[in-house]
Amino acid sequence: MAKTELQSALAQFTGTEHYYRIYPKVVLTDGTQYLADRAGCYWLMDLYASYLASVNPNIESFTCLKLTRRGNVADIVIEDGNTHALAKQQIEYTDFPLENFMFYAVWSGELWVLMLPSEH
């Protein structure tokens, strides 16, 4: 999917009607599910969900993942929402269509919900 087409489509998500379970305690919203399908980036959702499995939601109930791509290499930083890095990882090869992307994980009291900024 083309970069501008994907950005335009993602901007249309302002809430969710369904949740899609990807881990026992992690769900995707309509927007993040759309992103995973269209951009072929379930690996990114899995990376985030894997990190969240070790997070104590009583301490960190909100995190954000920031991806920065240079060519086919991507840097991923998971932050606490106040620009404090909690984890970093470099992806040696990706065909993710966007150069910069950010999305959130919010603890609902029972589950981590991965959502687009427009869905928060």
- Global model pTM greater than 0.85: yes
Residue type present at position 93? Y
Domains of the chain: 18-119 (3.10.450.150)
> Would you mind telling me the total number of residues written for the chain in this entry?
120
| Among 108, 119, 118, residue whose Cα is nearest residue 52 | 108
Q: Which helix (H) or strand (E) holds 23?
A: strand 20-23
Please count the other Cβ atoms lying within 10 Å of the Cβ belonging to residue 7.
13
Contact call for residues 41 and 54 (beta carbons, < 8 A): no
| Among 87, 78, 83, residue whose Cα is nearest residue 114 | 78
Q: Tens-digit pLDDT profile for the chain (120 aa)?
A: 688 999 999 999 999 999 999 999 999 999 999 999 999 999 999 999 999 999 999 999 999 999 999 999 999 999 998 989 999 999 999 999 999 999 999 999 999 999 999 998
